[in-house]
Amino acid sequence: MMKKPVKQIIQSFTLWELLKGLALTLKYFFKRKTTLQYPEEETPVSPRMRGALALRRYPNGEASNGEPSQGEERCIACRLCEAVCPALAITMDAQEREDGSRRTTRFDIDAFKCINCGFCEEACPVDAIVLTPEVHYTLERGTNILTKEKLLAIGEMYEKRLAKDREKDAPYR
C-alpha cells in the first residue's frame, strides 16, 4: 500500500499517527479498570466448576447406625467411576452390609492421580461422587489419599452448595 508522498509527509510532520496512539492510551487512562483484587474479591464460580472431590449423602433418612441427622450415603458401589477414571485414581472394595444393601467398604481416591476431569461424576448413576466448586485447598504428600470418611466429610461440608448447583444445572443434564 503506497501512500501519496505529499499526504505521507504531511501526516508524519503533524505527528498524526503518534497523536492517535496517545489519544487511545489517554482514553484507557479514564476507563474502568479490570483488576480484581484477589484476596478480597474473587471471580464468579460456575456451578459446573470442577474442584475438590466429595461423596454425597441423601438429604434425609436414617444412617445405618440409627442417627437421624446423617442421611444414607448415596454410593451403591457400582464401580462405574472406577471403570471410567482415566487416571486410575479410584480404588474401591464392596461388600454386603448387615441390612442387605450393597455398600463400599473402601473408597480411596488418590488426589495426586486425579485430574479433576469430572468423568466419575458423569458416570455416577446416583450422584454420589461429585466435584465441589471449591478450589482453595491444598494436598500434601501423606494426605493425598482421600478415604471414604474424608470424602463424605467434604460432601457434608458443601452439601447445601452442591444441591443448589445441581438444581441450577439440572435443565442442561
The residue from 33, 136, 160, 173 that contacts another protein (CB under 8 A) is: 33
User: From the CB of 150, what's the least distance to another protein, in Å?
Assistant: 36
Closer to another protein by CB, 36 or 170: give it.
36
Cell representation of residue 110? 488418590
**3-class secondary structure for the chain?**
CCCCHHHHHHHHHCCHHHHHHHHHHHHHHCCCCCCCCCCCCCCCCCCCCCCCEEECECCCCCCCCCCCCCCCECCCCCCHHHHHCCCCCEEEEEEECCCCCEEEEEEEEECCCCCCCCHHHHHCCCCCEEECCCCCCCCCCCCCEECHHHHHHHHHHHHHHHHHHHHHHHHHC
Q: Is 6 in the site for another protein (CB under 8 A)?
A: no
User: From the CB of 18, what's the least distance to another protein, in Å?
Assistant: 7
User: From the CB of 135, what's the least distance to another protein, in Å?
Assistant: 23
Closer to another protein by CB, 31 or 173: give it.
31
Q: Is 15 in the site for another protein (CB under 8 A)?
A: yes
Q: Is 28 in the site for another protein (CB under 8 A)?
A: yes
Closer to another protein by CB, 41 or 98: give it.
41
Residues lying near another protein in the complex (CB under 8 A) are found at 15, 18, 21-22, 24-26, 28-29, 31, 33-35, 37
